[in-house]
Structure 1
Amino acid sequence: MGEFAVRHAAGLERILAGVRDLGRFPPAVMAIADELGYLREHEISPAGLLLWSGGIEACTPEIGAPATMRRMAVAGADLQLAHLVEALVGTAVQRAPETPATAVTAVLDDACALVAGPAYRRTVREVLLTWRVGFLPGVLMPTSASPEWIKQGFRAYARALEPMTA
């Protein structure tokens, strides 16, 4: 992982700067990302990838097979990109509701570029569609515990992001 972080330092910095700006986070808060060590050299185990991918594969002896690892990596990237949108919109709603939707899509565009490879590409449009049907209902449904002001904020961002899903 450390080698990846070194190769993609500029893209990672753009993403973190976008998160910092969108959330108006002070340096002490942003330092947490470095302190956790996710961007330092560490092994990515099949079990870790299984969790990262949302359990898309069963925990069997074949979990370390290359094809299984690839499926988990793709599912994990899809899932994590959608989680990123959820976190960006949630941060904007709570900390800076006047932030334009383009600030969310700029970070997402950098993240899509960061995880792209020869066999995997996702567009901002695809990720927003996944977020809209996979995450947004959990905030907006009448049974959600989200306060009304959060629902209103998420609806406003969903409307603002809508043109990017066409």
Structure 2
Amino acid sequence: MSSRRGYTLIELLVAIMITAIISAAGFEFYIKMHNQALTQEEISNMQQASTACLQELVKTTRKAGYMIGNHVPYVINGDSIYVFFRETQAVDTVLYYLEDYCDGELSGNVSYPDAQRPRKLMRKINGETPCIFSDNINDITINAPSATSITIHLVAQTMTPDEDYPHNGGFRYYPSSELIVLRNLKL
């Protein structure tokens, strides 16, 4: 009786196929985990930017009317707000407003439908050149429910769509709002 040594061609092909299946499953798992990490980073950036932006808006808006005499403390015009107070000049003026991105400013590999096209929140202080205050803002609504309070509702969005998220074309939104009580008004 003679014993055969080695593997047959079929055994070798089966071993290669099993190895390929296990490797493909591991690679797919790695890609999914990597994409989830990138998505979570986008969501965290969106939430942090929204919170920081809103808190800075609150801080500036709360100064409205500080030591300016009979000058109006603020002017709301749609999605923009002028805030007047005295800090460095007789009347300091801070303007916040939404502005559309130019085509070259947005990420080149992402196409945005009109409803999901982000805008930038701009800030202009005392007639200086406006600067970008916050990126990726979808909407801002500013209201004055009473003479001594202002509500700001801000909606931020992710910069790139998530292919695994079926809603809103893959873009995620983070709404936040704040009620600001103006303390410097003499009413």
| Structure with bigger RCO (C-alpha 8 Å, 6+ apart) | 1
Q: TM-score, normalised by structure 1?
A: 0.27
User: Quick check: which one's strand share is greater?
Assistant: 2
Q: TM-score, normalised by structure 2?
A: 0.25
Structure with max Cα Rg: 2
